[in-house]
Amino acid sequence: MKSLKELQLTEENHPVDDNMDFRQRNALTKPTLSPYVAYQILKSYLGNPNGDIYDEDKTQWQWTVTYKDCYIEIYDWKMFSVSVAVYHKTEDIAISEKVATTIMVLMEKEAPRYKAKLKLLAKESTHKLVQNPYITYYRTAENLLELSKLLDKPIKIRDSERSPSVEPIVDDLQEYFIFWDKRNDVYRSAFLMYLASFEGFLNILYELYTRTDLRSSRLFERISREQVDVKLRMAPVYCDGFKVRIIDHEDKRFKNFLRLVNLRNDYVHANLVKTHERYIIEEDDFTFIVENEEPGETPTDINQLDLSHIELAKLYIDELVDMVIESLDPKTKREFKNFIFNEEIEVESFEGYLIPK
């Protein structure tokens, strides 16, 4: 194939096997260009999309074409990528892969002609999707928590003569202990991710609801730099949509969070705290190491975090998110809950501000 002109539009149905089930593709490639550019390229050669869409939640346009003995589908995937799927009549994988790769290369060669237009359209667009840092960090913390639980389980070596009763089952004890010994790293990471998720939550709240008269660059920048506990308490002062005058610092949920924030500051800044000290006592020609007692429910020494502390951090963050949402007026609460738990937030840009849609 020398040019995309050699592709022929077809009304053929998706290939099926002898049992009339959809046949598996013989090759798949994903060109490294945006769906918009791919769409423009294909439209210039083939006209409007002609393919039937089987899953409208994942694909919005598709071309079905043929080339020699190949049936080909070219489509967008979840609006973020492009796929070229090739089916060969005799299911020849080598030929299918060659055709798929050739189409990908030809499309990528055409891309520079459209990238300047795409850049201009993106610059002028007021309709946007904003990544939600709250969900990004929170889901990372959730995944680390699940990994923590797995590493925290007792183990049983696989034994053909015994029926294993404890998961996970492993074949190599030494290999397992290599990972088990790293569980404290996972605890620390999960704890910090939960704290970071709430900062992301507050940042989204301020980005979308800060009062108009406080949005001048210097004021907004100053507010953005406030300590997280101050930003939380002052949210009703700085932001529209609250039914309370200020976040109640006497609320148990706020106090729990404040303890986490203080710990987080010690952890992140590697502050030297009392629990970093261990005392050496010599007696009867023996040496004894005495740990500093830990008075709180969460250790001030990051090395002493365990699974229970991560679950406690999750509980406190969840309760605090609920507390903030409870503090919103009914209209804002309904609007806020519609998007705050999404991975991305759809917004409209108006006079430099982002307005949720």
Considering the chain, what is the average pLDDT of its residues?
Answer: 83
In a domain, 284, yes or no: no
In a domain? residue 75: yes
290 is a domain residue: no
Q: Is 17 exposed, middle or buried (0-12, 13-18, 19+ CB in 10 A)?
A: exposed
pLDDT at 273 (0 to 100): 45
Torsion of CA 219, 222, 228, 232, to 10 degrees: -20
**In this structure, are 142 and 223 located in the same domain?**
yes
pLDDT tops 80 at residue 294: no
Asked whether residue 140 falls in the same domain as residue 80, the answer is: no
Mean pLDDT score, 149-165: 57
Tell me what the mean pLDDT of segment 255-260 comes to.
88
> 84 with 61, same domain?
yes
Cβ burial of 310 (10 Å; 0-12, 13-18, 19+) is buried
How are strands ordered across the β-sheet holding 27-29? 8-9, 62-67, 70-77, 81-88, 27-29
Q: How many CA atoms lie within 13 A of 222 on its CB side?
A: 7
Of 57-66, 168-177, 210-219, the least confident: 168-177
Do residues 175 and 100 share a domain?
no
pLDDT at residue 160 is higher than 50: no
Span 235-245, pLDDT tens digits: 999 999 999 99
How does 238-250 read in b/e, with b if 16+ C-beta sit within 10 Å?
bbebbeeeebeee
Least confident of 69-83, 166-180, 247-261: 166-180
Residue 150 is assigned to a structural domain of this protein:
yes
Rounded percentage of the chain residues whose pLDDT exceeds 90:
46
pLDDT the model gives residue 354: 77
Find the mean pLDDT for residues 77-104. Answer: 92
Q: 10 Å Cβ neighbour count for 293?
A: 7
Residue 354 is inside which H or E element, if any? strand 353-356
Please report the DSSP string for 24-82 in residue order.
PPSEEE--SS-HHHHHHHHHHHH-S--PPPS-TTT-S-EEEEEETTEEEEEEEETTTEE
Q: Give 160 or 119, the one with higher predicted confidence.
A: 119
Residue whose C-alpha is closest to residue 110's, from 183, 41, 159: 41
Peptide bond into 168 cis (omega under 30): yes
Instruction: Using a pLDDT cut of 70, give the percent of the chain over it.
Output: 82
Which residues neighbour 55 within 8 Å (Cβ) at sequence distance 6 or greater?
none
Using the predicted structure, report yes or no on whether residue 161 has a pLDDT greater than 50.
Answer: no
Which of 79, 102, 124 is where one domain is finished? Answer: 124
Beta-carbon contacts of 214 under 8 Å, excluding residues fewer than 6 positions away, are 220, 223, 238
Which of 140, 157, 182 is closest to 317 using CA atoms?
140
Identify which has the larger pLDDT, 353 or 246.
246
CB 327 within 8 A of CB 244: yes
- Taking alpha carbons only, the member of 85, 88, 54 closest to residue 69 is 88
Residues 101 and 232 in one domain: no
Q: Does any domain span residue 302? A: no
The mean pLDDT value for 188-207 works out to 92
Is 75 in the same domain as 180? no
The arithmetic mean of pLDDT across residues 273-295, rounded, is 65
pLDDT at 95 over 90: yes
Provide the pLDDT for residue 316. 93
Q: Cα–Cα distance between 356 and 345 in angstroms, integer? A: 7
Residue, of 59 and 355, whose pLDDT is higher: 59
Q: 320 and 235 share a domain?
A: yes
* Cβ atoms 13, 22 nearer than 8 A: no
pLDDT value of residue 308: 84
Answer whether residue 307 is part of any domain. no
Same domain, yes or no: 120 and 153: no
Q: Long-range contact list for 67-74, CB < 8 A, 24+ apart?
A: 67/1, 67/6, 67/7, 67/8, 67/99, 68/99, 69/95, 70/95, 70/96, 70/99, 71/10, 71/12, 71/14, 71/15, 72/7, 72/99, 72/100, 72/103, 73/14, 73/25, 74/38, 74/42, 74/103
Last residue of a domain, one of 124, 143, 160: 124
Residue 319's pLDDT band, with cuts at 50, 70 and 90, is very high
Q: How many domains does the chain have?
A: 2
Range of the domain at 252: 131-263+315-356
Residue 286, pLDDT score? 72
For residue 300, is pLDDT > 80?
A: no
Could you read off the pLDDT of 47-90 as tens digits, one per residue?
A: 999 988 878 888 999 999 999 999 999 999 988 899 999 999 88
Amino acid identity for residue 82 in this structure? V
Does 230 or 125 have the greater pLDDT score? 230
Position 143 scores a pLDDT of 93
d(CA 46, CA 326): 54
> Does pTM top 0.75 for this prediction?
no
Number of Cβ within 10 Å of residue 208's Cβ equals: 22
109-137 per-position pLDDT tens digit: 999 988 888 888 888 888 888 889 999 99
Q: What is the mean pLDDT of residues 2-13?
A: 91
Amino acid 5: pLDDT: 93
Selected residue with higher pLDDT from 218 and 292: 218
pLDDT of amino acid 297:
52
End-to-end CA distance of the chain: 45
